[in-house]
Amino acid sequence: GQQLNQSPQSMFIQEGEDVSMNCTSSSIFNTWLWYKQDPGEGPVLLIALYKAGELTSNGRLTAQFGITRKDSFLNISASIPSDVGIYFCAGQLANEKLTFGTGTRLTIIP
């Protein structure tokens, strides 16, 4: 099925560093979501965005809904060990089912 392109596929950072990842689509969406998945668990919703240009924060996480409606960005500031996991973006147009990104795997180097 259709998937969004997420980049980077994986990241290796040191604790305390900031993280940036993005998601792009060939088609527009009117909702963007960001999820985090820990090993052996289901994805957990982090941030939901409903308006082009919207910038929303959740603690150290900040996500933006791209103005073109074809992309979204997630930033994590001052990373900590519990940030490790896989981050997925997801987009929705109207009431269609979600389209998920390919995931960004975040690893923190000791």
With vertex at residue 83, the alpha carbon angle to CA 7 and CA 26, rounded to the nearest 5 degrees, is 20
Q: Rule CB under 8 A: is residue 56 a binding residue for another protein? A: no
* CB 65, CB 32: distance < 8 Å: yes
Of 13 and 98, nearer to another protein (C-beta) is 98
Q: Which stretch binds another protein (CB under 8 A): 15-23, 58-66, 73-81, 90-98?
A: 90-98
Binding to another protein (CB under 8 A) within 33-52 occurs at 33, 35, 40-45, 48
Q: x-or-dash pattern for another protein, window 1-40, by CB under 8 A?
A: x-x---------------------------x-x-x----x
Q: Rule CB under 8 A: is residue 100 a binding residue for another protein? A: yes
Cis preceding linkage at 110, omega within 30: no
Q: Rule CB under 8 A: is residue 84 a binding residue for another protein? A: no
- Residues lying near another protein in the complex (CB under 8 A): 1, 3, 31, 33, 35, 40-45, 48, 88, 90, 92, 97-98, 100-103
